[in-house]
Amino acid sequence: MKIFFYTLREFDELACAKECSAKTGIAFDYTTAYPSAENAALAQGYEAISMTPCDMSAPMLERFASIGVKYLLCRSIGYDHVDLRRARELGMRVSNVSYPPSGVANYAIMLMLMLQRRAVSILDRARLQDYSLRGKIGADISFETVGVIGTGHIGTTVIQHLSGFGCKILCYDPYRNSEAEKYADYVSLEELFARADVITLHTNATEQNYHLLNREAFARMKDGVLIVNTARGKLIDTDALVEALESGKIGGAALDVLEKEDGLYYYNRIGDVIANRDMALLRSFPNVILSPHTAFYTEQAVSHMVGSCFEAAQAFDRGEESAHEVKIKV
């Protein structure tokens, strides 16, 4: 059994992969490049490939299947970049990863606080030695209502940790979580939009919730509401968000993920002309925080992400079930 890793980071993931390989007896090799039609042949002779979010459309899957790859090991919680229907047709098994939810949850709360207290503006002005108070007044989360969309592991952890701040917490999810109910009130999406001062997203991207936050959704929200997204860029209609920011309907946004972020995040693009007008426009707003998809990035999470790939590969190779397997229902 062998795994070929694409986009393996030598400065953090490689040591984890070596440790897991020694423990499981599963051999591996890697490239730091993203998978492509040109470098797919690197996986010749490997039963599994592992990758971060990238192009795993039908043509790519067909290319890998043709050289004997049977398992697709996503080093991410999300797997919307994989054509699951084609994977099933090709007989390929797919896995994603899990890691402690506290890292993303705490990052989301950090972004909420930064927005509410105008932290970026305060720090930027302090660098210029502007220590005046005009324009720096913020809000105290303890007196606000926070709406959490998605009560899986991360969303529920956000709710648990927010409860210590004393704020009112509303949540929405088609499937109720008994742990979340201890600290938050389940309401309809419409009621959450109408009542929340801060809305934070913690749900996977699906066809059903594509552009969950769109013009109609923004229109139903409170004036000046703050939006936090550490989940998936596709959940927000970027054009609608820009319009709502320009009109003042949205008071601020903190985005760790963006639509069309492929080819940007995780690359060093210093000095490049970046052809992404949405990003350029959002960066121009003083009430918008953009971070480059780093909410997950802790030592603990990286260890779990790499380890999950080896665990899934070992189970697949033995013909066993794996807790990390994505059940393909398409």
Catalytic residues: 232, 261, 293
Instruction: Measure the CA–CA gap between 304 and 50, rounded to whole angstroms.
Output: 14
Instruction: Measure the CA–CA gap between 46 and 95, rounded to whole angstroms.
Output: 16
Instruction: Measure the CA–CA gap between 228 and 222, rounded to whole angstroms.
Output: 15
In three-state secondary structure terms, 16 is helix
Instruction: Measure the CA–CA gap between 150 and 177, rounded to whole angstroms.
Output: 10
- Residue 224 carries which DSSP code? T
Q: With beta carbons less than 8 A apart as the criterion, state whether 198 and 174 touch.
A: no
Instruction: Measure the CA–CA gap between 75 and 293, rounded to whole angstroms.
Output: 14
How many beta carbons lie within 10 A of that of residue 325, not counting itself?
16
- Which residue from 302, 305, 294, 304 is spatially nearest to 256, judged by alpha carbons? 294
Instruction: Measure the CA–CA gap between 303 and 324, rounded to whole angstroms.
Output: 15
Instruction: Measure the CA–CA gap between 186 and 65, rounded to whole angstroms.
Output: 44
- Which residue from 166, 164, 118 is spatially nearest to 144, judged by alpha carbons? 166
Q: With beta carbons less than 8 A apart as the criterion, state whether 278 and 260 touch.
A: yes
Paired with 73 in beta bridges are: 50, 95
Cα dihedral 284, 287, 292, 297, rounded to 10, equals 160
CA atoms within 13 A on the CB side of 35: 29
- Residue 319 carries which DSSP code? T
